[in-house]
Amino acid sequence: MRKAEIKRKTKETDITVALDLDGSGKVDIDTGIGFFDHMLTALGVHSGMDLTVRCKGDLNVDGHHTVEDVGIVIGQAVAQALGDKGGIARYGSAYVPMDEALSFCALDISGRPFLAFKAEFTDFRCGEFDTCLTEEFFRAFAMNSGITLHIREEYGRNDHHIIEAMFKAVAHALKDAMTVTGGGVLSTKGVL
């Protein structure tokens, strides 16, 4: 049972995340930022995990704390659900097109968190979501899940399409990497 539920409350956010890595892509998302909800929905649906996210954040300030803290909690939940990371494929990669945009992700569920992120956004916002927060979300997710995460915009003109292709590329790469293969930890060390 690769499931987790994490609650985190600070002076800036109050978050609950529940997920099931072996779900069917059922999602129930409410962060108060419509575009971010749309991206998290794509993450859940395309990775095949069931994902519930509830966040009350200080949106009167801006969306930064909400987006970053949700990344922290989803990352912690993924790490908890994966346990010792034994018996999984470990690696995943995907190119995902969305209309004129193409994004790429390669990742390693290694226990060594890292983010390499390359994108140039032309719009300040998509809806109420600051485009610069895309990198902040993925950094928080990578650092708290213990995943080495490389994300790159190949090309595109519409920031909505670029960002959505990124979330979907991460989802497909994550789905492949989380695939149960059996056996022990995929490492020459024997542990991660």
- The mean of the pLDDT values for the chain is 96
* pLDDT of 102 over the 80 cut: yes
pLDDT > 70 in the chain, percent = 97
Q: Is residue 48 classed exposed, middle or buried when 0-12, 13-18 and 19+ CB atoms within 10 A define those classes?
A: buried
pLDDT of residue 128: 96
Mean pLDDT over 86-96 rounds to 96
pLDDT digits (tens, 9 = 90+) for 20-65: 999 999 999 999 999 999 999 999 999 999 999 999 999 999 999 9
For 111, phi then psi, to 5°, come to: 85, 0
Please give the Cα distance from 8 to 182 (Å, whole number): 32
Please give the Cα distance from 84 to 44 (Å, whole number): 22
Mean pLDDT over 129-137 rounds to 98
User: What residues does 18 pair with on adjacent strands?
Assistant: 5, 52
Mean pLDDT over 63-76 rounds to 98
Domains (ranges, CATH) in the chain? 3-177 (3.30.230.40)
- Which residues does 11 contact at the CB level (< 8 Å), separation at least 6? none
* pLDDT of 191 over the 70 cut: no
Count CB neighbours of 118 within 10 A: 11
pLDDT of residue 186: 72
pLDDT > 90 in the chain, percent = 93
Looking at residue 33, what DSSP letter applies? -
